Amino acid sequence: MNLQNTSQSQLEMARNASDISGLNNLREAMASGNGEVLQEAAQQFEAIFVQMMLKSMRKAQDALADEDSPFNSEQVKFYRDMHDQQLAVDLSSNGGLGLADLIVKQLGQQDPDYRPASTLRSDGNLSSINRERAEAVSRAQATMLDSASAGSQSAYKAAMFSGQQDFVETLYPYAEKAAEALGTDARAIIAQAAVETGWGQYVIHDKHGNSTHNLFGIKANNQWQGDQAVVDTLEFSNGVPERRKAAFRQYDSLESGLADYVDFIRTQPRYQQAVANGADASQYFNELQQAGYATDPQYASKVMAVYRSDAVQGYQP
């Protein structure tokens, strides 16, 4: 008997689930270098997978079975499991679920159009995905800043405060009044405004250069009857930033801007859970994010990071 016939015989024996020497036969066939061994190994793997599915199905069936039934005895279960093992082997040997063919294509690399596993694993590199997302955010932000500095005829974003200290000191009296109405901390209101405007360095101004005093990114919907300014903004879609144009509300003062923020939060039904948790700043912003206040998936954590900063917590009115 030649080497090929010997390997084939060993493969045939390996297909019997009740043959405890099957694994050893398969190992010997692999050592012979027979090209059919990979296919056989893939079929054995598929058989194990099918057997696990059948076993799970049997467990579900046993949970509903009559304990006093003669068909529910341990002897019946023993022979039933042996039948399922052999059934799994036979199914995988005759086409099965197609899992074996996928394994052969992946490991055999005989199909030039099939993508190798190494490239698939590279696509799963989370650090690479996060890096690309961060770069996308940076590019979008740079584009928006370049547009603003070029002197666009539409609205733009510019600094309204000299720095963080000026931002906190100027905003605190109005934030204190707003926080009292919402039942939250004035510093929490300031932290949210800081995130929305980059500590007041990117406040929306209309095309005439007048500040909109909109520190919370509140957009001008159909119900808004006041002035508005259209400006480029970043919106997140599935975690990826996109540059869009949007109309934002315009106010004549910081006081009116914060008053409208309070009215906006208190009158919107979707923000009622946030108002109910106003005493807890972290929960307040989590509820705002869950309700769709911002599209940035990290919005709440960013606001809380600013809220805990020395610039906010260290301020004494």
Active site residues: 235, 260
Report the alpha-carbon distance of residue 292 to residue 218 in Å, rounded. Answer: 12
Residues in the chain: 317
At a CB cut-off of 8 Å and minimum separation 6, what does 255 contact? Answer: 174
Q: Name the one residue in this structure whose structure tokens are 């003062």.
A: 253
Helix (H) or strand (E) holding 229: strand 228-237
Q: Name the one residue in this structure whose structure tokens are 């996060």.
A: 130
How is 240-307 classified by DSSP, letter by letter?
EEEEEEEEEE--SSHHHHHHHHHHHHHH-GGGHHHHHTTTSHHHHHHHHHHTTS-S-TTHHHHHHHHH
Report the alpha-carbon distance of residue 255 to residue 243 in Å, rounded. Answer: 30
Report the alpha-carbon distance of residue 233 to residue 231 in Å, rounded. Answer: 6
How is 166-214 classified by DSSP, letter by letter?
HHHHHHHHHHHHHHHHHTS-HHHHHHHHHHHHTTTTSEEE-TTS-B---
> For 219, which DSSP code?
B
Assign 3-state DSSP to the chain and report helix, strand, coil percentages, each to 5: 60, 10, 30
